[in-house]
Amino acid sequence: MSTAQIGVVPSFIAGQWQNHEAHDGTQVLDANTGELLATVTSERLDVAAAVHHGRTVGQRSLSALTLHERALKLKELAMYLNERRPELYELSYRTGATKIDSMVDIDGGIGVLFTFSSKGRRELPNANVILDGPSEQLSKDGSFLGTHVFTPLAGVAVQVNAFNFPVWGMLEKFAPAFIAGVPSIVKPATPTGYVAEAVVRLMLDSGILPEGSLQLLSGSARDILDHLDYRDMLAFTGSAATANRLKSHPNVVEGGVRFTSETDSLNAAILGPDAVEGTAEFDAFVKAVVTEMTVKAGQKCTAIRRSIVPQALVEPVIAAVSERLEQRVVLGDPRVEGVTMGALASLDQLRDVRAAVEDMLAAGGEIAYGRLDAPAVRVAPEKDAVAERGAFMSPLVLRWDDPQNPVVHSREAFGPVSSVIGYDSLEQAVELAAMGSGSLVATVCTNDAEVMRELTVGIAAHHGRVHILNRETARSSTGHGSPVPHLVHGGPGRAGGGEELGGIRSVKHHMQRTAVQGSPNMLTSLTGVWHTGADQRLAGCERFGGQSQNVHPFRKSLAELSIGDGFASDLREVTLQDISDFATSTGDTFYAHTQQEAAAANPFFPGIVAHGYLLVSWAAGLFVEPAPGPVLANYGLENLRFITPVAAGDSIRVTLTAKKITPRVTDEYGEVAWDAILHNQNDEIVATYDVLTLVEKKDETYANFGQ
């Protein structure tokens, strides 16, 4: 088995790889063989230079790109890394990770880049400022508005990561920081930092990243916080003890460094009383517990540490979990055929986990399955598969007579260790889950909707995520232990209180929300979104603000169209016949459109009124410019509200204004959202909505049409 040495793990600071001499550095061993693999310097790294480079060069190069351009780069990066996974797997094996574990880390990390890339381009504007919510009218005449905007933090995002997921843990923080436009300084954990270094090297070699957007500190870097101030943020993943030390640093307490942490967590899985042996839920529960114990040899912040099951099911659950462990687990070097669970990441880690288990046994826990001194499960037959100096450990299931024993709810054994405790009532199950003092995730496993509701509502405030498992999701669930980049990852209390992985909210987490007040024109100009009251250049009916010299906005490509361009129609009168024809042709004969007496009795209507959809359809007819042109398609409406009813004899008119223009980075067209407002003959607002269209960047396809 190849155990080639990596040498000194370098840092990447201010655009340079730095190979510190590491005579007295920390030695990193192959987790499976115990052989020396790499050395990590314990010399002082030039953190100040990294921070300065990020705040200057990194900030500048990132701000030259829009949110969409940065998001697109993440996709390019993901594709680049995807092709280079095999070399990363080879390194990952040395951390004790099996192929499946490595895929969770490496493929999972790359998947995070893909997800953030597509969510970023779908859910954010192609700009540098994000508008947060609707504007508020602050003066009677509408000339003074207030709104909120997000802009990138002015400093750096320092990311201190745990050893268990060197790739995914890094990329889940890097992706949102990068889209937000904040340079990252990554500080991986020493035992597996060589895998993170390999990924950073690939990312930099790809040539995709703007200068200064990613730097790496390989080494202890204990003085990181000394160099940060209120412009910067530090996102920490690791033990609660380290988090507590870091967050009490004066630069956090007094200096305003934004600090978030994802720390350890005694996650629970609760089995409902209905989920007895023989049910699909019982089987799914046992499977989940075994998966969480064995993937990454249980070194997962989200692993199930506490199975909370009805008293009568304690022994059946222990028996079933033990049987599955016996059948499924083959311990050994992950490079050996047939191995399903590898070593812990280091001998230190093995010592820590054993010490934690010893504490738990001393406090009243009892080993129901496994052995602390030697592997109880099958060991891969090949010689040296479980080398003497490897960090191998048997999975252990612990039984507790007293479910309230504080140690089962507080001592984290960060390895293949899980406890089973019994409950007498749902109320007690909730109490027991909450005794974890705040966790990342809990599974609620039941097919009884009442039980699910009581448990989920009861435990939600103590958890960042609740995973509801029953026969309907047993096959399709992404699993208890897998945070997904779309949803919050983090949890209250002991789990650290962070939400660093959680869709677009984690991008905004790297930005400052600022309230901005000003005129509609100024807010339009700042945000790139047309605000009511701002200037318009309307074509169409002069009576309602149109100017004959203005070109119809549907004749303009994205290159020619500006925010505020629009069209004002003339009035069109609605007759009873129109309403009745629409009712007949659509089949929508709801009484308000067909029966005078019943309609008049309705508190909202004066009598028969026009269908809202008739008015929206008419509006399209009033504003359309029908000849082929740069407008390619209408792909929807948003925020449609009907405000004033329209009766026979009333008239409507429409004003359409280009509100938001979003060119797509990858296509020859982009999206235009149009503010549409319908008025009646008395200038009362009948309806408001946004019309969504796709418009060519340049008017080429149809340039010669009809000539």
Minimum CB distance to ligand NAP, residue 239 (Å) = 3
| 44 counts as binding ligand NAP under rule CB under 6 A | no
The 539-578 site mask, x for binding ligand NAP (CB under 6 A), equals ----------------------------------------
Taking CB under 6 A as the binding criterion, the range among 219-227, 250-258, 268-276, 353-361 that sits at the site for ligand NAP is: 219-227
Minimum CB distance to ligand NAP, residue 37 (Å) = 15
Minimum CB distance to ligand NAP, residue 335 (Å) = 24
Q: Is the dihedral of CA 260, 228, 198, 382 positive or negative?
A: negative
Residue 541 bears catalytic tag: no
Which of 20, 68, 187, 552 is the binder for ligand NAP (CB under 6 A)?
A: 187
Query: 418: which residues sit within 8 A by CB, 6+ positions away?
Result: 289, 292, 293, 298, 303, 304, 305, 306, 307, 321, 395, 396, 397, 398
Taking CB under 6 A as the binding criterion, the range among 114-122, 187-195, 322-330, 674-682 that sits at the site for ligand NAP is: 187-195
| 242 counts as binding ligand NAP under rule CB under 6 A | yes
Q: What are phi and psi of 71, to 5 degrees?
A: -60, -40
568 near 538, Cβ under 8 Å? yes
Task: Enumerate residues 159-178 that contact ligand NAP by CB under 6 A.
Answer: 160-164
Minimum CB distance to ligand NAP, residue 109 (Å) = 13
Q: Is the CB of 200 or the CB of 271 nearer to ligand NAP?
A: 200
Q: Is the CB of 78 or the CB of 160 nearer to ligand NAP?
A: 160
- Residue ranges of alpha helices (H) inside 479-605 are 504-508, 520-527, 576-586, 591-594, 596-601
Set 262, 454, 499, 500: catalytic member: 262
| 506 counts as binding ligand NAP under rule CB under 6 A | no
CA 465 to chain centre: 12
Task: Enumerate residues 101-160 that contact ligand NAP by CB under 6 A.
Answer: 160
Q: Is the CB of 7 or the CB of 142 nearer to ligand NAP?
A: 7
Report how far residue 55's alpha carbon sits from residue 229's, in angstroms, rounded to the nearest whole number.
Answer: 11
Pairing outcome for strands 651-663 and 565-568:
antiparallel
Helices (H) and strands (E) in the chain, counts: 21, 30
Region at 377 (left for phi over 0; alpha for psi -120 to 50; beta for the rest)? beta
Which of 25, 108, 212, 238 is the binder for ligand NAP (CB under 6 A)?
A: 238
Which of 44, 222, 453, 698 is the binder for ligand NAP (CB under 6 A)?
A: 222
Q: Is the CB of 199 or the CB of 608 nearer to ligand NAP?
A: 199
Taking CB under 6 A as the binding criterion, the range among 173-181, 239-247, 308-316, 510-518 that sits at the site for ligand NAP is: 239-247
Report how far residue 28's alpha carbon sits from residue 189's, in angstroms, rounded to the nearest whole number.
Answer: 11
Residue nearest to ligand NAP (CB): 238
Q: Is the CB of 33 or the CB of 261 nearer to ligand NAP?
A: 261
Which of 66, 159, 239, 443 is the binder for ligand NAP (CB under 6 A)?
A: 239
Query: 31: which residues sit within 8 A by CB, 6+ positions away?
Result: 94, 95, 96, 342, 343, 344, 345, 346, 390, 391
| 263 counts as binding ligand NAP under rule CB under 6 A | yes
Minimum CB distance to ligand NAP, residue 615 (Å) = 51
Report how far residue 118's alpha carbon sits from residue 438's, in angstroms, rounded to the nearest whole number.
Answer: 32
Query: 572: which residues sit within 8 A by CB, 6+ positions away?
Result: 618, 622, 651, 652, 653
**In the chain, what's the furthest Cα-to-Cα distance?**
94
**CA contacts within 13 A on the Cβ side of 256:** 5
561, two tokens? 């169209």
Taking CB under 6 A as the binding criterion, the range among 73-81, 146-154, 220-228, 529-537 that sits at the site for ligand NAP is: 220-228
Q: Is the CB of 22 or the CB of 246 nearer to ligand NAP?
A: 246
Q: Is the CB of 183 or the CB of 481 nearer to ligand NAP?
A: 481
Minimum CB distance to ligand NAP, residue 364 (Å) = 22
In our burial notation (b when 16+ CB lie closer than 10 A, e otherwise), range 142-158 reads eebbebbbbebbebbbb
| 281 counts as binding ligand NAP under rule CB under 6 A | no
How many residues touch ligand NAP (CB under 6 A)?
28
Set 172, 292, 301, 696: catalytic member: 301
Give the containing element (helix H, strand E) for 216.
Answer: strand 214-216
Q: Is the CB of 95 or the CB of 190 nearer to ligand NAP?
A: 190
Residue 262 bears catalytic tag: yes
Taking CB under 6 A as the binding criterion, the range among 50-58, 70-78, 215-223, 565-573 that sits at the site for ligand NAP is: 215-223
Which of 60, 122, 245, 698 is the binder for ligand NAP (CB under 6 A)?
A: 245
Taking CB under 6 A as the binding criterion, the range among 14-22, 216-224, 510-518, 559-567 that sits at the site for ligand NAP is: 216-224
Task: Enumerate residues 366-425 that contact ligand NAP by CB under 6 A.
Answer: 412, 414
Query: 241: which residues sit within 8 A by CB, 6+ positions away?
Result: none
Q: Is the dihedral of CA 458, 459, 464, 470 positive or negative?
A: negative
Q: Is the CB of 12 or the CB of 582 nearer to ligand NAP?
A: 12
269 near 306, Cβ under 8 Å? yes
Taking CB under 6 A as the binding criterion, the range among 257-265, 368-376, 551-559, 655-663 that sits at the site for ligand NAP is: 257-265
| 190 counts as binding ligand NAP under rule CB under 6 A | yes
Report how far residue 608's alpha carbon sits from residue 213's, in angstroms, rounded to the nearest whole number.
Answer: 62
449 near 338, Cβ under 8 Å? no
In our burial notation (b when 16+ CB lie closer than 10 A, e otherwise), range 55-91 reads bebbbebbeebbbbbbbbbbbebbebbeeebeebbeb
Q: Beta-carbon neighbour count of residue 197 at 10 Å?
A: 24
Q: Site residues (CB under 6 A) for ligand NAP? A: 160-164, 187, 189-190, 220-222, 224, 237-239, 242, 245-246, 262-265, 301, 412, 414, 440, 495-496
Q: Active-site positions?
A: 262, 301
